[in-house]
Structure 1
């Protein structure tokens, strides 16, 4: 038998440690299981992470391909790379912004860092996204605005210390099963409760003590109603607000009264009071795509942060905890040079730009002047600026809103698709580069609580498949040898380069190395030294021995220092916000009287390409309340109906589900049919698309 290889599961962003074992003959992962020695999960593992590591159902890519006379044909690596290089070189010579690059949270830190270095320091293009704009950009923007830095202040360590777990616009029972097990276990203790806030009675809501169902897309109204109730009943933490925040008076001036906001959110008085009482306790507020993927995603995420600030819930066992989707989405936020330079160095700061240019050995004027648009605007630029799009471990044909239009844009560009599996995007690509997946690659990843851990290869990739890191390095070395000096870099050397760039930053990883990870298995940033690791951010615990003049905190009358907080903002304080609920971009009307919402299903991560065939994904299943089905019974044929929006339509199989509110249609977001219906409208602050609500109607099923 082969040896067990410790690694990190790349199925979701929890970051569980796995042990993988390869077969005695051939390639692949024969057995996978949780790693009891890993500090993140201590041996726990979900069935999907195990199954998709051992035996993914996707259609593997095994040979490079190029398009000849309209057809994709197999070819050699030399031919495929030369074809891609010629297209990239010609586009770049015409204009740096003629090249667009789409990365992914499925890459290792090393591959993501090198891709960002190539995009920004080689091509110098504005048109680059690490894929987080589709899922986490609103949370990222909210954290920066509120705290001056990205990422949650809290971690998994705080779950066991909370008295109330408020899961808002997220379904971790499906998306993050191991983490949800920790939450549920703690909520089962006496005196601790779990509250789910979601229009739909999700799997998380089914396992909660309370379910607060609100009007679709009205989360900011509810957040403001809760805060107004706390203010009106004198249940805010005035001492914390005075000591550690700015902007509370401005927030009060813009705050609606609780009753008006409650009615707009369409929740009961009892549910409003339930949430207000929860915030009086040590509370963790978790949120996900139900908040982020909204035209007011940033303002709503800030509304949840405001609830924590107003009640002093910014200490261990409490706080605002955004739940990350893809396995290394946090890593791309730290290392990929999308919204910031590595380590969260401000993108627009001229000193930081010069520092990065000097470290990379390129002229500073090669770096783009701004972070560039998100993926929706990137594809809109195909007709004007973009000639070539290079998609790495991502499937924009399915993952983009208004997917038919996105597909048309991609068909007008020269597309290079780099992936481990056959996808709808590889189907229309001009060049296909087969990449190794997890279990075949070396590197690191960063989970949603900022913990860095190793990704290791337990098996060799097939001879005709290369790792993402090697593909990116080969292209970069051929086009910009002064920037990327070798086509086959060692992952440890790339990580060392990235970590050095983060020294002294809020996301300092300079104290982390492959050698340290060999011993410790996982280390949370910031880790500026070889023996340090991140804890609860922005917070300094009270020092009982402090006296007047202590730097550890203010001194009370009793002589005991109080906790203190410090944030990397202009004033050193956290910032309140003043956003108010606005109109939905496409409300229902007489012509389109139903609301479509989208969410994850168990096998739907990463557009489902590891768990479904591309050629026959099956009919999409819609969850619909029985009364809604009955009201449109004349349009239903053999338990199917066509769901039509103003952009496209899809015939669905009906799953009658009383957990879905009347007048709503629930579809899995990563089925190929779903995003043909959704809106391309984006949050103006984060560029994140509004996937969660649009107006639809039923029609007779199409053949």
Structure 2
């Protein structure tokens, strides 16, 4: 029997039908009845079933490195927090939580910290991805309300994507956009410094200079006003305009000034302005490229200003649309998971503090905002935070300037980590580790980017001694003395309390109002179908502000930062298509791991040539905060002078590729969101005299060399290696067994196979100057009977290697697609899909397939 649940990954909030087929075995398919995805899943969701095993799980409470009982662990946490609060006050402790928590988990954690400990020092890793959108919504609307739905994408005549590689980061949404284009000719504009896969099918790509989004949007609004296209009637009735707004907008926002500042062709900018002006049904969808900036809130308000001033809000197919990165970032916002807000979309006004305190019967209600993420860990490093509880996140990897974050964690007197994984970069600093429930074991609700609340349901029993996060938190609260306030026995009880709080003393003052679901019974909660709160926000022109009007917010473009002599490049960070956060989940999936096997630094070929950086060589990226080594990838889609690196690699997977070491700990002054997108940097080549790979059945510690990365493959682990010195030193990474070996001293080549009872358990291939075979055939030989021929590294007689993975959903490699194009004469994406399946599920590989087809056509024409 299939269980209806929701995906564990991004904020799209896709519904899933999950069928348990055996012990820790699950079949996954998209739920055709879920309104968010109508049956579609991306590559990550498709392969969730590969990530529910118990590899690497934390299954028992731990004090230090010793297993302990729940009673001892919980009593210790409660006592240490209680003692530190008594000695140093409530602001000496903190919680750092996560968009991976369910709403019920978030609610209990927020209630404990803000209502009973008496501090607002609870912040979330969602601060890193969408808090500028929250601040922008609050400034413009008076409440954090996303005024759009996925249905608006179906109805829009123009969709503008700003700072969002939607094809990779939200593939199901991207396919919905593509469907609208096919059905009704919807135009697509992408505004992004990089030419990403999302740009491939766009009508227009504007590769603006990083950090100039305010100038672009102010210029658009100035154009609309010059052309008489501002909706004066809507403004008069529904929007407050600050004094001097229009006169300030007239300064330096003409076409030529904006084009020069944004480094765009004036003709392209004019084309965008005219297309926007001619298309009232416009959705502007924005994500991390807008939010992750020290000017993020102003950038958000610049977008919202355009929509408010032209009346493109509260209408079908017309809205500004912030799309979130995590599965429950929105749920955390609803219950006050940010240090800057209270529960139920309330703020730190005297009235709201009194209302929430009264509802909770709180003993010592927090009276002011708490420390936001970057400031929280800075305070820890300064000794002001003396105890921290980190839940379902990995700040020793994900925060900016993580070298200092790690120093702070090392100095903190008491660190508690609740997680599903036993060994994480953050968990290594913990005094107490608590085993939490994972996806497939948890029960509660999540809210997606369009305010759709869905149930996440348990599929299998809790393994070992793992427990839900809400249970762990309430048990600590009870041991701290608040038994009655935290007497929950099931998630449904927490949900009902949360829903009642949204309705408490809320007579239309706030859009978030769940009173219709506040009295449902346990069975109704278990059967709860997806529903969207808020209807169509602002359709009546009323906003949750004291005067019922929205607000235009005056924002000005700050001068773009000049390149520094020692740091001439600009560094950007972001996500890969098939990986998620720090890969504790996606890293378990062999199919997802092969799309990007190593952390790459993408650089324009002209920059690479001038710096002597060969494609696939190694390079060190340095910033004032730190440095890390990456594999070089020449990428024509990069702007000159700019670099891009992924966020996913940690000490558990690689000796390099540590993006978190590089960004500055500078934050937006309104939202506190760090600016990951514009870090001054430099890059230089790294010399090595040997490179190779190691394939092992199971896994071994990372080899001790300059460059070592690991990914999961069928039956084992693949390590890519490079370094200096004696290749014999790498033998220490090999497991014991019968050795078969060949070498070529002239090329410095060694090939070693380790057999156990005649079956391959490891293969090490290293060379100083020669070529290495493809890894695919050798991976397939793990645990198969072998002889000396395995050292050839390829099948007898040869076979088609699949090459780099293009379609992770169906495990289709580049060479298979190229062969189909050449040998079968396939000339379009649809034909490739029929023949190989590639591109027929989530569609995120369709731009790559289109490029292969175009390349083959070009080669044939030149042929």
> TM-score, with normalisation over the residues of structure 2?
0.73
Structure 2 partner of 1:352: 352
Structure 1 partner of 2:143: 149
| Deviation for aligned residue 1:122 | 2.0
Which string of whole-angstrom CA distances, capped at 9 and with x for unpartnered residues, describes residues 543-567 of structure 1?
xxxxxxxxxxxxxxxxxxxxxx111
| Deviation for aligned residue 1:666 | 0.4
Change (3 A) 1:9 1:113: same
Change (3 A) 1:321 1:664: same
Which string of whole-angstrom CA distances, capped at 9 and with x for unpartnered residues, describes residues 517-572 of structure 1?
6666111113xxxxxxx2x10113xxxxxxxxxxxxxxxxxxxxxxxx11112322
Verify: 1:263 aligned to 2:255, yes or no.
no
Equivalent position to 1:579, from 555, 572, 593: 555
8 Å Cα contact 1:89-1:479 kept in structure 2: yes
CA distance in 2, matches of 1:670, 1:480: 40
> Tell me, what secondary structure is at the counterpart of 2:515?
coil
Structure 1 partner of 2:722: none
Structure 1 partner of 2:730: none
Structure 2 partner of 1:449: 450
CA distance in 2, matches of 1:275, 1:511: 43
Mapping for residues 227-242 of structure 1, pairs under 5 Å: 227-242=221-236
CA distance in 2, matches of 1:38, 1:464: 33
CA distance in 1, matches of 2:559, 2:84: 41
Equivalent position to 2:376, from 369, 375, 378: 378
| Deviation for aligned residue 1:175 | 1.3
Per mean C-alpha deviation after superposition, the further-off stretch among 77-86 and 117-126 is: 77-86
Structure 2: unaligned runs, 5 residues or longer: 651-657, 688-705, 707-863
| Deviation for aligned residue 1:54 | 4.1
CA distance in 1, matches of 2:501, 2:184: 46
Equivalent position to 1:644, from 619, 622, 626: 622
> Tell me, what secondary structure is at the counterpart of 2:489?
coil
Structure 1: unaligned runs, 5 residues or longer: 527-533, 541-564
8 Å Cα contact 2:615-2:632 kept in structure 1: no
Equivalent position to 1:692, from 669, 677, 683: 677
Which string of whole-angstrom CA distances, capped at 9 and with x for unpartnered residues, describes residues 639-682 of structure 1?
11111111111111011111111111101133330010101000
Structure 1 partner of 2:584: 609
| Deviation for aligned residue 1:39 | 2.7
> Tell me, what secondary structure is at the counterpart of 1:461?
coil
Per mean C-alpha deviation after superposition, the further-off stretch among 175-184 and 298-307 is: 175-184
Structure 2 partner of 1:417: 417
| Deviation for aligned residue 1:619 | 5.1
8 Å Cα contact 1:473-1:484 kept in structure 2: no
| Deviation for aligned residue 1:302 | 0.2
Which string of whole-angstrom CA distances, capped at 9 and with x for unpartnered residues, describes residues 270-305 of structure 1?
222232223221100000111111111101100000
Change (3 A) 1:248 1:120: closer
Which string of whole-angstrom CA distances, capped at 9 and with x for unpartnered residues, describes residues 129-182 of structure 1?
133221111101111111111121111121111000000011121111111111
Mapping for residues 70-89 of structure 1, pairs under 5 Å: 72-89=65-82
> Tell me, what secondary structure is at the counterpart of 1:21?
strand
Change (3 A) 1:163 1:276: same
Which string of whole-angstrom CA distances, capped at 9 and with x for unpartnered residues, describes residues 106-128 of structure 1?
11111100010011112112321
Verify: 1:523 aligned to 2:531, yes or no.
yes
CA distance in 1, matches of 2:616, 2:442: 47
Verify: 1:49 aligned to 2:42, yes or no.
no
Change (3 A) 1:477 1:278: farther
Structure 2 partner of 1:681: 666
Which string of whole-angstrom CA distances, capped at 9 and with x for unpartnered residues, describes residues 378-433 of structure 1?
11111232101100001100110011111111111121111112321112211111
8 Å Cα contact 2:10-2:325 kept in structure 1: yes
Per mean C-alpha deviation after superposition, the further-off stretch among 491-500 and 462-471 is: 462-471
CA distance in 2, matches of 1:221, 1:285: 16
CA distance in 2, matches of 1:652, 1:56: 30
CA distance in 2, matches of 1:200, 1:638: 20
RMSD: 2.2
> Tell me, what secondary structure is at the counterpart of 1:243?
helix
Per mean C-alpha deviation after superposition, the further-off stretch among 203-212 and 163-172 is: 203-212
> Tell me, what secondary structure is at the counterpart of 1:685?
coil
Per mean C-alpha deviation after superposition, the further-off stretch among 112-121 and 463-472 is: 463-472
8 Å Cα contact 2:335-2:342 kept in structure 1: yes
8 Å Cα contact 1:29-1:458 kept in structure 2: no
Equivalent position to 2:172, from 173, 178, 188: 178
CA distance in 2, matches of 1:618, 1:33: 26
CA distance in 2, matches of 1:331, 1:324: 11
8 Å Cα contact 2:353-2:366 kept in structure 1: no
Verify: 1:393 aligned to 2:371, yes or no.
no
8 Å Cα contact 1:225-1:272 kept in structure 2: no
**Greater relative contact order structure (CA < 8 Å, 6+ sep):** 1
8 Å Cα contact 1:34-1:43 kept in structure 2: yes
Mapping for residues 364-375 of structure 1, pairs under 5 Å: 366-375=364-373
| Deviation for aligned residue 1:511 | 1.0
Change (3 A) 1:429 1:619: farther
| Deviation for aligned residue 1:440 | 0.3
Mapping for residues 147-546 of structure 1, pairs under 5 Å: 147-247=141-241, 250-255=244-249, 256=251, 257-258=253-254, 259-280=256-277, 281=279, 282-314=281-313, 315-338=315-338, 339-345=340-346, 347-363=347-363, 366-382=364-380, 383-413=382-412, 414-421=414-421, 422-482=423-483, 484-486=485-487, 489-503=489-503, 504=506, 505-512=510-517, 513=520, 521-526=529-534, 534=535, 536-540=536-540
CA distance in 2, matches of 1:602, 1:62: 30
CA distance in 2, matches of 1:637, 1:307: 42
8 Å Cα contact 2:63-2:431 kept in structure 1: yes
| Deviation for aligned residue 1:105 | 0.8
CA distance in 1, matches of 2:677, 2:458: 37
Verify: 1:568 aligned to 2:536, yes or no.
no
8 Å Cα contact 2:622-2:628 kept in structure 1: yes
CA distance in 2, matches of 1:500, 1:49: 33
Change (3 A) 1:394 1:15: same
Change (3 A) 1:153 1:516: farther
CA distance in 2, matches of 1:75, 1:519: 37
Structure 1 partner of 2:112: 118
Structure 2 partner of 1:90: 83
8 Å Cα contact 1:59-1:613 kept in structure 2: no
> Tell me, what secondary structure is at the counterpart of 1:22?
strand
CA distance in 2, matches of 1:277, 1:455: 44
| Deviation for aligned residue 1:21 | 1.8
8 Å Cα contact 2:500-2:515 kept in structure 1: yes
Per mean C-alpha deviation after superposition, the further-off stretch among 72-81 and 686-695 is: 72-81
CA distance in 1, matches of 2:557, 2:523: 49
8 Å Cα contact 2:19-2:28 kept in structure 1: yes
Verify: 1:629 aligned to 2:608, yes or no.
yes
8 Å Cα contact 2:623-2:681 kept in structure 1: yes
CA distance in 2, matches of 1:661, 1:180: 23
Change (3 A) 1:210 1:480: farther
8 Å Cα contact 1:165-1:187 kept in structure 2: no
> Tell me, what secondary structure is at the counterpart of 2:628?
strand
